[in-house]
Structure 1
């Protein structure tokens, strides 16, 4: 299964990675997360990694430098991708629009 996902990452134009695919903290259960993470890192796709567990996996497998963007925004990261209004972003937009 991990190899199938890895092939999809190779063919993708954009990858949003939020959440490991196993209990990667234990090596005997981390193979899927490692394979997926390394496939994303090798991909020419624009890659976005977000979420605390995902970032821990990115760090564990030393692939941070190969990610296009790393988000530490937590749930707000996903809400932004969903197109939801974030109060802080809305306020910044209002201020830049002027009176």
Structure 2
């Protein structure tokens, strides 16, 4: 396998943190990037980074209501106004 050199621009902080992650796995940053690119080529899939925005409490609530969402079952009736909604909440 012939190797080539590729130059990329990185955020300095991201590079430093990635080097730390690679080092903790016993790899160089180059080996880590090579491994990731090999995975992309093998799977023909790029896993996008999506930051975690949900809290454990929200995850628990979503898990609880998931069956209702899957059946397209409304959790409440439709309302014609905010006043109607608030009146229903007070029942």
TM-score w.r.t. length of structure 2 = 0.32
Relative contact order, CA 8 A, sep 6+: which one is greater?
1
TM-score w.r.t. length of structure 1 = 0.30
